[in-house]
Amino acid sequence: MAKALNLRYVIFLACTAALGGLLFGFDVAIITGAGPFLTRHFALSDISLGWAFSSLLFGCVIGSVLAGRLTDRYGRKRMLVWVALLFAATSVSTALAPSFALFITARFLGGIAVGAVSLLSPMYVAEVAPPAIRGRMGTFYQLSIILGILVSYGINYLLRNTGPTNWRWMFATGAIPSTLFLVLIALAPETPRFLVRTGKTREAFELLERIENEETARVEIAAIELSLKQIQQSWKAVLRPGVRRALLVSGCLAILVQTSGINTIVDYAPAIFLSSGWKIDAALFSTLLVGLTEFVSTLAAFWAIDRYGRKPLYIAGSMGMAATLGALMTAALMGAFHGALVLALILTYLAFFCACVGPVFWTLVPEVFPNDVRGRAMAVPVLTQWIANAVVVLFFPYAFHVIGKAATLGFLAAMSLTQGLFTWRFVPETKHKSLEEIEQSWARPSAV
């Protein structure tokens, strides 16, 4: 009789890789509360403030490109170790930056780590998790991002009154989770698919056997070997018909997930609350409610993603986001953009994203690419979403204050609606399918 799934071990592997998401969320959001203090310290304009926020995101563009190229050569685990070291180094250097130029440089280098981990961590989880629970294991990554955001909001609030250099201590605390991530990833194995790819089939078999059982391990090893037979170490392999379709769909989702506004809301939450009449202490405290809402909503996704599937959640979340952004736009037009109404609508918007869109995006992207080109192919949607993220975050303060709240929120609402319609028309369902089965489905004309 075959032994049952070693769930405890799978959760350890998924949670270890997902810690990269915690650093992702921490580095992206720690500047949220530091922003008002940075503005005073460096006397920043709207565009300079946007650059302070988005410099990390432009680094993410470089990081995702480098990780996509290097992970197929050096492996998922080794790359994650390097990334953990870079996270720790840039946390300290950002905190110690004596000038705005050096602050921007440190944030940019930290962005390289964030961009790399946004590709590597979901890929690692996808390659070690069995099909029946891969959605839930992938949700650990989104949950970890949200936890990182929540932790950063808590640190921002606790350090808000600790003096003119409080923002330095906010950034310095990032060295703690970075060190924890480094220790845990050093204890984790390489993924079975990369082991097979590099000729270490016996090690891959032993790992798969430990995760499930001997019979399942033999079947999965055979499927992996078959999918790697036609491996080509060039971008031509990425552009073959089935992969092109996956690239197009995932690339469009990557643009829409950012232009629908999630990171503008997360990054500029205190600024939005200040513009709606809150005082600085209340605005920073409200970000804790933002983080808690995101965390609880992501727990709901953990329960739903393998039950209802990726596509229905993505559509429902997109439509909910469009509705709440539309309501915020209406409030701005009617002069009612203030107080509890703004907070309630923003929390509702975030609940739709975190329960539906966020977890599905980071689960779906590594699922849709074949074993032989997953590292290189994933670089395309990950790179695309970071470019879209950087541009949106850079210009949001200007758009919000100069072009106007209503126009800015209306644009984000339109993008959320477009995201839902695009998903309904073009995104396939991947629930309960092995990575090899998904690969075969994209090669068929009916895949989209």
| CATH assignment at residue 271 | 1.20.1250.20
Say if 201 falls within a structural domain. Answer: no
For residues 145-155, give the mean pLDDT. Answer: 87
Strands (E), 346-425: none
**pLDDT for 2:** 47
Higher pLDDT, 67 or 432: 67
Residue from 162, 174, 44 nearest 106 by CA: 174
- Global pTM value: 0.73
C-beta separation of 351 from 204 below 8 A? no
pLDDT-derived band at 1, boundaries 50, 70, 90: very low
C-beta separation of 30 from 156 below 8 A? yes
**CA distance linking residue 287 with residue 170, whole number of Å:** 15
Mean pLDDT is lowest, of 132-146, 229-243, 310-324, for 229-243
Neighbours of 334 (CB within 10 A): 9
Distance, CA of 269 to chain centre? 18
Residue from 136, 154, 152 nearest 298 by CA: 136
At residue 29, does pLDDT exceed 50? yes
Say if 49 falls within a structural domain. Answer: yes
Residue with tokens 């605005």: 283
Helix (H, G, I), strand (E, B) or coil at 24: helix
**CA distance linking residue 365 with residue 384, whole number of Å:** 12
For residues 259-273, give the mean pLDDT. Answer: 78
Say if 215 falls within a structural domain. Answer: no
Question: The tokens of 305 are what?
Answer: 């993603």
Residue 164, Cβ density class (10 Å: 0-12 exposed, 13-18 middle, ≥19 buried): exposed
For residues 168-176, give the mean pLDDT. Answer: 92
**pLDDT for 412:** 93
**pLDDT for 234:** 53
The DSSP call for residue 370 is -
At residue 46, does pLDDT exceed 90? no
Residue with tokens 């005073």: 40
Which domain, by its residues, includes 364? 7-188+237-447
Say if 200 falls within a structural domain. Answer: no
Kindly report the backbone phi and psi dihedral angles of residue 129, in degrees, each rounded to the nearest multiple of 5, phi listed first: -90, 135
Q: How many structural domains is the chain composed of?
A: 1
For residues 221-233, give the mean pLDDT. Answer: 72
Kindly report the backbone phi and psi dihedral angles of residue 279, in degrees, each rounded to the nearest multiple of 5, phi listed first: -85, 165
**pLDDT for 150:** 86
**CA distance linking residue 389 with residue 259, whole number of Å:** 7
Say if 226 falls within a structural domain. Answer: no
Say if 223 falls within a structural domain. Answer: no
Say if 121 falls within a structural domain. Answer: yes
The DSSP call for residue 173 is T
